[in-house]
Amino acid sequence: MRIVVAGAPDEPHAPGNNLDVVVYRSDANSRKVLRFDSSPAAPNDDVADEDSTPSSASITLGTARIEDTVSAESDGYRFVGYFVTWHNQRVFVVDPQSAPARATGETINFRVLRTGRGANPRLSFSM
């Protein structure tokens, strides 16, 4: 089984290195969804930090053909995502609903999320 783990871009990991992974299992729209992350969520996400760094976010749309599919199942929970080429770069698009996998070569539409806090911009892709 292959999985794709979300992580901070400033924390790269080389092939063969050990990686601690947090596995999230959730129910979304009658689907049991798996998600993998390399760091646990902050304990007080609902608390506003008065001294926080300014942040930004924008969403645009992308379209690309599926080059490879990654899926995993565990105890009825499912993970699905796709490798595509976007702006001449190979990126991974997560299907947060973990719908049945689409075929290689099929065209998908997805959201391109640009977020950031201070000097830590992030780029992510989601259907």
Residue 6's nearest CA partner among 94, 111, 119 is 94
- The pLDDT of residue 69 is 93
- The pLDDT of residue 32 is 86
The partner residues of 33 in beta bridges, in order of sequence, read 26, 78
Residue 42 has pLDDT above 70, yes or no: no
- CA distances in angstroms from 46 to 41, 51, 116, listed in the order given: 11, 15, 18
Domain coordinates in residue numbering, the chain = 22-42+56-126
Contacts of 97 (CB under 8 A, 6+ apart): 28, 29, 31, 33, 127
3-state SS record for 61-93: EEEEEEEEEEEEEECCEEEEEEEEEECCEEEEE
Read off the pLDDT of residues 118-127 as tens digits, 9 standing for 90 and up: 677 788 899 9
CATH class of the domain defined by 22-42+56-126: mainly beta
pTM, entire model: 0.73
Q: What is the mean pLDDT of residues 82-90?
A: 96
The partner residues of 59 in beta bridges, in order of sequence, read 113
Read off the pLDDT of residues 69-85 as tens digits, 9 standing for 90 and up: 998 888 999 999 999 99
Provide the token pair at 33: 């969804």
Q: How confident is the model at residue 109 (pLDDT cuts 50, 70, 90)?
A: very high
Q: Looking at the chain, how many residues does it have?
A: 127
- CA distances in angstroms from 112 to 48, 67, 115, listed in the order given: 26, 18, 10
